[in-house]
Amino acid sequence: MIGIGIAKGLVQTARNLLGTYTDKDRLPTIEYPEERQALTEATRQFPFLVHDGDDPAKGLRCVACQICEKECPPKCIYIVKSRDKRVDYKGQMQFYPATFDIDYSVCMSCQICVEVCPFESIKMDTEFEFSTADRFRGLLFDKHRLAKSDAHYHRIHPTDAAESDAVMAAERAKAEAKAKADAEAKAKAAAAKLAPTPAASPEAQMEAPKPGSDTPTMPM
Amino acid sequence: MASLDQIFVALKDWLVAFVPVALQPLAGALLSIVAIMAVFPGIFALTTVVERKLLARFQNRPGPNRVGIPLTKIRLAGFGQFAADGIKSLTKEDIVPRNADRIVHFVAPFVLVAPAFLSLSVVPVGRNMAALDFRETGLLFFFAVGAATELSVFMAGWSSRNKYSLLGAMRGIAQMLSYELPLILSSLVVVMMAGTLSLATIAERQSGVQWGVVHSWHVFTPWGFAGFLIFLTAACAESNRTPFDLPEAESELVAGYFTEYSGFKFALFFLGEYLGMFAISGVAITLFLGGWNAPFTFLDWVPSWMWFFGKLVGFILFFIWLRATLPRLRVDQLMDLAWKFMLPMSLVNLVVAGVWHLAASWPHLLRWPLCVAILALPYWLLSRGFQTRFKTRTYRFAEESRPAPATAAAGP
Amino acid sequence: MNPIFAILAGVTVGAAVAAMALRNLVHSVLCLTVSLVGLALLYLRLGAEFAGFVQILVYVGAVAILIMFAVLLTRGGEAPPGRIANAPWSGLAVAAAVFAMIAWAIARSPALRGMAKDPAQPPLSVKAIGDKLTGDLVLPLQVVALLLTAALVGGVVIAMSEKETE
């Protein structure tokens, strides 16, 4: 009979209406600025640069190899390599970025830069509230704003950070072993020939990515 | 309590007494106009917020709850929204299409709003509280003034020079004309029984007592109940509310006949629609739900205008509830419902009212089942006809485009 | 002359003239509607509430919309340029004839004499109209009803035959 379906529908919607006042499942909205959803560990928003220690200027892991700049699909990364070198975490002499800019307004959060980086230096942050009145300067992040400590990385992505640490420790051990071997070889050669060989650091630098690419840094 | 009941009447008399005697009728009329122009748009403003909040709740959302007092943190649970909406619609650019018929386009919203206010003025909102009381033709006035709505819809749709507007207008007029018939026929039942067209008198007639404590509202009779349901459905269609919002079906016709309206004129259309809904709800209350009468005699101490506005709020909430529940009808379903179901039912209802009147001296136990049976049988038959008609839904264009294997095999 | 009557009469006649003179058919219909509303207001001025409201309900609510539908469903609203009527004199003759007939009927009406006798006559009640319609005038009422039913059946027949040829 006409009307029964209408009555059933009315009862259904009324239950829905009243349910929103009592049942949390019927009103799942999170009212954002006041309430926030807890971020999952897999949250990724925009890249940042990891630095060791307290001083971002000194501890930046980036060696300005410019791989990320070349790989970035929307070309939002801009790097200027430094003229001088400084000691990196493995004790080797490396370049560092004189300028490292990421335009967040262009970045599409694909995290290809993270995947290609051989130095565990660029990672994805969970920060997403970048609204600004200045569309150009406000979203162009230089290296001072991009640099965040390793401790921050550990806090937002503990699993990944532990993996990064493991990779870096392996690298360091390998570099130390190689340096030791080189030193021994050098000592041997010196003892044998008294003729010094050039430092093995360029080779070490070339070899460094290999173990990193064998063990992927990012769990996909 | 009697003083509270008549407080507005007394207030008006007191204010009118200040002006010279020659101007007193004019002053009284002006006061009534001011009251109507203040109260009903106020209810409209609140309704827009309440409707949005409730619809949101029906759909598991919190709805607008942010706008409060500006420059403070007070949010008023979102009830500042209507002020923001009003300011927005007042300051928006008024766009008139280049090809539009400018004069007709300009006049159309006023042709909608003015009759809406006029039809509100005959509704008795309390004891002795009808701004215009036509002792002879009150209900007729309401329907006559409501006829201008169709004209406004046509003017808006035609003058916009837009296919959606014109389609919406055509749908709107067809719908309003079709549903005006059951609307008038179902209210005719009350006129038959009350013997008057005056809305104030009809409301007063329902203050009698039956079954000990219950006021004799018309809805507590078989013909009144059936008439009320028919009137309610037709009222829903007349005021273009879902499920009868075909003239402004936003998923099909952008916004129907007021697609090409913006800013303040759009707000006027909006206002006109809601005022029309209030007016028709007010008439439904007066005709069937006892007007300003309390449901029970022991609740008579509550002022009459409170009862009226309480019932009006109930109607508004019910319309919102319906809107949240029912999907929109198709045009052919709409016409079928009007002509093949509601019109026969309202005619049957006229017969029932006649039988009820003739059987006035019969005992209740005989009169009630007879009238209910006269109503229930056609209802059952008609709805069975509808069900067989709408049982299987065929998707004509989808089915035709698909090659049918059966016909291919049976080919020449 | 009463100023309100003058305004109403002016609006009614002006709108009727505009309905004749305007080239756009829809505008003509809208002006005709204004004219009909003016007429209804004149009825109300005379205290004929029922006639006035029925005038609005029937003519504005139904007849004007019907004409509108007819205009829109038949052809474009714009009239062709140039003279519309070839023989305005025949139209004027018909108008004059209609006017003469109505004027004659009004002049002969007993109501006019009754009003002249008793200007303070109470307005006709709806109940009296109803009694009249279902009493003395029941035969004309039934004839009109039959006519309307025939028109309705005719409309249905036209609509049905269209469906069959489809």
Beta strands at A77-81 and A47-51: parallel, antiparallel or unpaired: unpaired
Strand order in the sheet with A77-81: A77-81, A97-103, A140-141
State how far residue A135 is from chain B, nearest Cα, in angstroms: 26
Q: Is residue C42 part of a domain?
A: yes
C30 contacts B155? CB cut-off 8 A: yes
**Same domain, yes or no, for C61 and C7?**
yes
- Least CA distance to C68: which residue of chain B? B154
In the chain, the amino acid numbered B286 is: T
Per-residue three-class SS string for B81-105: HHHHHHHHHHHCCCCCCCCCCHHHH
Over chain A (220 residues), the average pLDDT of each successive run of 10 is 82 87 84 84 88 81 87 90 81 84 89 88 87 86 86 87 87 85 82 60 48 45
Q: What is the band of C86 on the pLDDT scale with cuts at 50, 70, 90?
A: low
Looking at residues B385-393, what average pLDDT do you find? 67
What are the b/e assignments for B61-99, b being 16+ CB within 10 Å? bebbbebbeeeeeeeebbbbbbbebeeebeeeeeebbee
Q: Is residue C116 part of a domain?
A: no
pLDDT tens column, A104-153: 888 898 989 988 988 888 888 888 888 888 888 888 888 888 888 888 88
pLDDT at C148: 92
Evaluate whether residue B357 is within a structural domain: yes
Into how many domains does chain C fold? 2
| Contact residues on chain A for B61, CB-CB shorter than 8 A | 27, 29
Pairwise CA distance, residues B220 & B211, whole Å: 11
C69 and C128 co-located in one domain:
no
What is the distance between the alpha carbons of residues A41 and A32, in angstroms, rounded to a whole number?
19
Q: Is residue C93 part of a domain?
A: no
Residues C135 and C62 in one domain: no
Each residue of C5-34: b (16+ CB within 10 Å) or e?
eeebbebbeebbebbeebebbbbbbbbbbb
The set of chains that have 3 or more CB pairs under 8 A with A is B
Q: Give the pLDDT score at C115.
A: 57
Number of domains in chain B: 1
Domain extent for C56: 1-78
Interface test with A, best of B58, B60, B319 (most A CBs within 10 A): B60
Q: Which residues pair with A51 in a beta bridge?
A: A60, A149
Tell whether C112 is covered by a domain. no
- Of the two residues C97 and B395, the one the predictor is more confident about is C97
Q: Are residues C74 and C128 both part of a single domain?
A: no
Q: How far is residue C113's CA from residue A110's CA, in Å, rounded to a whole number?
A: 96
Q: Give the pairing type, strands A97-103 and A140-141.
A: antiparallel
Q: Per the domain annotation, does C51 fall within a domain?
A: yes
Where is the domain boundary, C17, C52, C78?
C78
Q: Which two tokens stand for residue A162?
A: 């532990």
With respect to residue C55, please indicate whether it lies within any of the assigned structural domains: yes
C-beta separation of A217 from A164 below 8 A: yes
Same-domain status, C74 and C5: yes
Is there a domain that residue C96 lies in?
no
Assess whether chains C and B touch, using the rule of 3 or more C-beta pairs within 8 angstroms. yes
Residue to mutate among B111, B135, B140, B181, with most C CBs inside 10 A, is B140
Cβ pair B151:C64 closer than 8 A: yes
Query: d(Cα A93, Cα A204) in Å, to the nearest integer?
Result: 11
Q: What is the mean pLDDT of residues B137-152?
A: 85
In a domain, B15, yes or no: no
Residue B394 domain-assigned (yes or no): no
Is residue A214 within a helix (H) or strand (E), and if so which, with residue range? Answer: helix A209-214
- The pTM of the full predicted model, rounded to 2 decimals, is 0.77
The predicted structure's pLDDT at residue C100: 94
Q: Where are the alpha helices (DSSP H) in B92-137?
A: 102-121
The model's pLDDT over B41-74, given as tens digits with 9 standing for 90+, comes to: 889 988 988 998 888 888 888 888 888 787 777 7
The pLDDT tens digits of the residues spanning B89-102 come to: 888 888 888 888 88
The complex scores an ipTM of 0.75
Residue B45 lies in a domain: no
- Looking at the domain assignment, is residue C24 inside a domain? yes
| Residue B119 within a domain | yes
What CATH number is attached to the domain comprising C3? 1.20.120.1200
SS3 A77: strand
State the residue range of the domain holding B382. Answer: 96-388
B379·A9 Cβ contact <8 A: no
Any CB–CB contact under 8 A between B150 and chain C? yes
Does B44 reside within a domain?
no
Confidence of residue B166 (pLDDT cuts 50, 70, 90): confident
Chain B positions in Cβ-Cβ contact with residue C61 (cut-off 8 Å): 143-144, 146-148, 150-151, 180
Q: How far apart, in whole angstroms, are the C-alpha atoms of residue A61 and residue A68?
A: 14
Residues C63 and C133 in one domain: no
